[in-house]
Amino acid sequence: MSKAAPFLMFQGNGEEAINFYISIFEDSEITSLNREVPEGSNMQATFKIKGQEFMCLDSNINHKFTFTPSFSIFITCDTETEIDELFEKLSEGGILMPLGDYGFSKKFAWVNDKFGVSWQLNLPS
Q: What is the pLDDT of residues 87-96, one digit of tens each?
A: 999 999 999 9
**22-49: pLDDT as tens digits:** 999 999 999 999 887 666 567 899 999 9
The answer to whether 45 touches 30, Cβ cutoff 8 Å, is yes
The answer to whether 29 touches 22, Cβ cutoff 8 Å, is yes
Predicted TM-score of the model (pTM): 0.90
Buried b / exposed e across 67-86, counting CB within 10 Å, b at 16+? bebeebbebebeeeebbbeb
The mean predicted confidence, pLDDT, of the chain is: 93
Q: Please give the pLDDT value at position 105.
A: 94
Q: Please give the pLDDT value at position 61.
A: 80
Q: Please give the pLDDT value at position 43.
A: 85
CA 82 and chain centroid, separation: 16
Q: For the chain, percent helix, then strand, then coil, each to nearest 5?
A: 20, 40, 40
